[in-house]
């Protein structure tokens, strides 16, 4: 790749790293976002071969190709955030997921019940246990938590929903260890 393309690639990755910071929109998915550096190069390679065909290996990837790759990958990021419920009308899901992760880290919990998490993290927009289920589902999908199989209760009634915390959650205060 030529120097202009390399500079564009580095600028893209620096912006992704910034978005993974404490207030960034990619913080809850920082491990996934870390893979974007390679993704943008792969996309640039595909675009380069589409443009140059069999002659591609003899021509460095240029600025225009890298710019197009960065635009595509930025589109992938937006799509992923919407699909994961981290942006759009339900965008507060990410901050609530981060709130739960921060609470788990502070407490040192290796597991907790839905009721525990609700009691510690209640907000005006999530005022019932059921309001928190999308947050737990997101954290399970991202590998931070694992929902246990419900155990039958000798007391009757519904069993508590229990989540096990991926040990990697406690390895990094910056939120960079996800459970994949």
**For the purposes of burial, counting CB atoms within 10 Å of the CB of 26, is it exposed (0-12), middle (13-18) or buried (19 or more)?**
buried
Please tell me the predicted confidence (pLDDT) of residue 172: 61
pTM greater than 0.95: no
40-56 pLDDT, tens per residue? 999 999 999 999 999 99
Stretches in the chain below the pLDDT threshold 70: 83-92, 124-125, 152-157, 172-180
Q: Per the structure block, which two tokens stand in for 147?
A: 């929902």
Place of tokens 């690639």: 9
pLDDT score of 81: 78
Domains observed in the chain:
3-83 (no CATH), 89-170 (1.10.10.10)
CA distance to 1, 75, 148, 153, 166, per residue, from 111 (Å): 47, 36, 9, 18, 9
Contact call for residues 61 and 45 (beta carbons, < 8 A): yes
Question: Which of 130, 120, 144 lies closest to 29 in space, CA to CA?
Answer: 144
């Amino acid at each position: 790749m030529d120097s202009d393309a390399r500079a564009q690639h580095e600028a893209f990755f620096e912006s992704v790293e910034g978005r993974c910071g404490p207030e960034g929109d990619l913080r809850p998915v920082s491990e996934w976002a870390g893979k974007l550096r390679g993704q943008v190069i792969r996309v640039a390679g595909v675009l380069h071969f589409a443009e140059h065909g069999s002659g591609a290996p003899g021509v460095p990837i240029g600025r225009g190709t890298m710019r197009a790759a960065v635009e595509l990958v930025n589109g992938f990021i937006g799509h992923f955030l919407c699909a994961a419920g981290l942006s759009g009308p339900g965008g507060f899901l990410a901050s609530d997921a981060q709130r739960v992760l921060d609470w788990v880290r502070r407490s040192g919990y290796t597991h907790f019940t839905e009721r525990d998490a609700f009691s510690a993290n209640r907000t005006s927009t999530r005022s019932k246990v059921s309001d928190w289920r999308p947050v737990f589902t997101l954290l399970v999908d991202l590998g931070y938590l694992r929902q246990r199989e419900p155990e039958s209760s000798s007391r009757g009634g519904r069993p508590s929903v229990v989540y096990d915390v991926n040990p990697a959650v406690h390895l990094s205060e910056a939120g960079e260890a996800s459970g994949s």
